[in-house]
Amino acid sequence: MNSIIAQEWHQFRKDHEMELQQDGVDIYEDLDTLIEDNLQGTAPSSSLDNALYEEYERQQQEEIDTAIAEYESISQPSTQCMKCQQWSSFHQGDCHQCSNCGFTLNKELMDAIDLTIQKHANMCSNRLEFTVEPGESGSIIGLCTACDLWMLV
């Protein structure tokens, strides 16, 4: 890339040398030095420049890490808990566990709920909502306000 820039600069100088001389522009020496330094990798740098660059890189990495953490937190599937009715990132392998109240649904119970939803969809187009019955049994009840259906799961 640097050699292409050097070639282009030399071609530009060759093509426009007369015009630049007539205008009194003397930019050759500075640009030639800059191109040579860049080609040789000896561009002047100070320890202050290096320290500022390292600080900039550190800040950029912190911003990237923060953005990734925010993205991961919002990209997690969120579900409303049947027991506490709070939104929670719920999925944990084959189980769903509410991060607010600790209520857990295992795979068998999730399959039974899916089957209940399918059966209800055959009879009614409204949404079936679920809640946990108060008390120690903790049974899950499916409710539909449109068709007055109550299903114990």
- Which pLDDT does position 64 carry in this prediction? 92
- Give 12's pLDDT tier (boundaries 50, 70, 90): confident
Q: Which residues, 6 or more positions from 141, have their beta carbon under 8 angstroms from its beta carbon? A: 130, 131, 132, 133, 150, 151, 152, 153
Whole-number Å distance between alpha carbons of 13 and 9: 6
End-to-end Cα, the chain, rounded Å: 69
For residue 143, the cross-strand partners are 129, 150
Decide if 141 contacts 119 (C-beta within 8 A).
no
- Give 117's pLDDT tier (boundaries 50, 70, 90): confident
Estimate to the nearest angstrom the gap between the alpha carbon of 63 and the chain centroid.
Answer: 12
pLDDT at residue 43 above 60? no
Cα 152 to Cα 13, 43, 107, 135, 137: the distances in Å are: 87, 76, 17, 15, 12
| Dihedral pair phi/psi, residue 139, rounded to 5° | -65, 150
Over residues 19-33, the mean pLDDT reads 64
- Which pLDDT does position 61 carry in this prediction? 93
